[in-house]
Structures are given as structure tokens and as C-alpha cells.
Amino acid sequence: MLGRLATRPALLPCVLSFALWAGISAWQRRDAWRWFAAGVLFGVALYTYTPIRVIIFIVPVWIVVVSNHGGARRMWPGAVYGVVGFLAVAFPLFLYGTTHGEVLFGRAAGVLAINMDGGPLAAGRMLVLQAWKVAAMFAGPGMGDTNLRHNVPGRPALDWWIAAAAGFGLVVLSRKRRHVAVIMLCLLGLSLIPTMLSEEAPHFARASGAILVVFPLAAFGSVVFQREWLRKHPWPKHLAIAGVLGLGRSQHFQRCGCRHTWRKPIPDSHSMSSAPALRLMQIDFCMQVGKVSVGLLTGRNPHRTAS
């Protein structure tokens, strides 16, 4: 919905995804031009939507995690080109912010929902409540954004199966590549901070940066589930195929039987009408589908006769 409205929040995940791709690709290939492109794209992202001023801290987090994992050598000297590209694009914004701070930060201060006016205890309660609302927005029924501009009021951000796939993908990723899972969790947390601290939580527009984490994790979880679990346990796939085939052919025979009931009986060698004959064909087909299903489940050939 954010993309169809053509508003600024849609630009944030779009530009940031290309910036992250360029940075990761530059680190893998040690390409100076890719480092420079990543810096330029991160600088452009600062002009998209206000939450980027929090999400941009994923860069130092990524540097720290990669350095601890033993990949710091790949950053030199490419990271210097990235910093140059970033400053070349972001410097005008920094210069403007030094003299017009109320323009850059006035909106963020105006929608801040947590303050210390009621004391630390009240602020802590508000923070816990805001965190619960934001966490429940992903799959909680009726817990989504209620603003009609951002969402169907109350509809959660994800369908239940996408949320389950994202959770499964995070679990698998944390076992195989823990440092990548840490970076993804940090990016998710930084993306949710703007809506967690602001009014009207959950606010899908302010949490649009979470798209970069949730949907890749859901896709990764779905692929792993299909490759690993269904390979070891193929019976759900076989049962679904057999069920679809049986249901489709059953409906076909049902329509054929209803279409021929008004006609005169067609004599055959057994003096049977067409409708009972089709009914017997339907029963026989269902039995054959059942045999095939049993064979798929047990791994035996249903047409093999005992010797």
C-alpha cells in the first residue's frame, strides 16, 4: 500500500536495499567502485524518510560484527571510498542541519510518545506497551496499523504463514550463520525503534525498514523448509497431490453424471444406465487414487503383485 500511495516511506526500503546490496557486494569482491556506490546510496537514503536517521547506525554495527568474525581485512581500503561517497552526498544535509535543526528534527520531536514528564516509571510502562504493540503488529489479529493511509485498519503486517516462515528462517540462520542473524536482528531492531518511540504505534510507514529483514527471512525459511524438511518427509506433498487429483476428477465425474441424468438410459452389456456406470467409475477412480496415495506414503508400488 505504501508503494501505491507513492509517498516517501516507500523510498526508504527501496534505496536502502540497493545500498546494503552494494555494501555487501563490495565487501565480498573488494571492489572500490562498489564501495563508493554503497556510500553514495547510503547518503541518498538520508534524504528519503525520517527513520533512516536511526537505521543508518546499522553500518557501524555491521562493521563491528564483521570485524569480530574475521572479515575486517576485506574492508580496507574500500571502506575509505565508501566514506568519501557518503560524505559527498550527505554533506549538504549536514550543513543544512547545523543552521536549521528544527526543520530536520522538529517532526521527530513532535511525534515522540515517550517522555520523562510523568517520571521514569511511567516512561518505562509506556515503552513496554509500545514494544508490545510493535511486536504484535506482525501477526496479531487486529493488531496492525489502524491508519487507512497505511493499511487495511487493524490487519497485521504479515499473514500467519509468512510470519511462521520468517521465524523459521531466523532460527535456521542463527544456527548456520550466527553473525548474519545478529546483523539481521540489529537491522530489524533499528527499523522498529522509530515506530516504537512515536505516537500511533504501530505505524507501518515508520517501520517500513523492517521489510528488508522480514521478507528475506520468510523467503529463506520457505526455501529451507522445502529443501530440507519435505525432502526427508515427502508425504505431505504426495498427499496434497493425490488429494487435488482425486478432488478434481471427482468433481468432473459428478458434473458428467448430473449432465447425463436427464437423458435416456444408454443400454450396455450389463443393462446399466449411464449415471450408475459413471458412479461406479467414480468409485473405482477414488479407489485407485487411494492405492496410489498409500503407495506414495509407504514407498511401495501399488500395482506390484505378490509372487
Residue 127 falls inside a structural domain:
no
User: Average per-residue pLDDT in the chain?
Assistant: 76
- Tell me the residue range of the domain where 62 lies: 1-110
Residue 118 falls inside a structural domain:
no
| Residue where a domain terminates, one of 233, 255, 279 | 233
pLDDT band at residue 36 using 50, 70 and 90 as cut-offs:
very high
pLDDT band at residue 288 using 50, 70 and 90 as cut-offs:
low
Residue 275's pLDDT is 52
258 versus 22: the higher-pLDDT residue is 22
Residue 41's pLDDT is 93
| Residue where a domain terminates, one of 56, 79, 110 | 110
pLDDT band at residue 300 using 50, 70 and 90 as cut-offs:
low
Residue 208's pLDDT is 85
Shared domain for 146 and 174, answered yes or no, is yes
DSSP string, the chain: -HHHHT-GGGHHHHHHHHHHHHHHHHHHHT-HHHHHHHHHHHHHHTTT-TTHHHHTTHHHHHHHHHHHTT-GGGGTTHHHHHHHHHHHHHHHHHHHHHH-HHHHHHHHHHTB---STT-HHHHHHHHHHHHHHHHHTTT-TT-S---TTTSSTT--SS-HHHHHHHHHHHHHHHHH-HHHHHHHHHHHHHHHHHHHSBSSSS-TTTTGGGHHHHHHHHHHHHHHIIIIIHHH--HHHHHHHHHHHHHHHHHHHHHHHHHHTTSPP---TT---HHHHHHHHHHHHHHHHHHHHHHHHHT--TTPPP-
Residue 307 falls inside a structural domain:
no
Shared domain for 253 and 278, answered yes or no, is yes
Residue 124 falls inside a structural domain:
no
Residue 5 falls inside a structural domain:
yes
Shared domain for 47 and 152, answered yes or no, is no
Convert the pLDDT of each residue in 59-94 to its tens digit.
888 888 877 776 667 777 878 888 899 999 989 888
Number of structural domains in the chain: 3
Percentage of residues in the chain with pLDDT exceeding 70?
71
Shared domain for 85 and 155, answered yes or no, is no
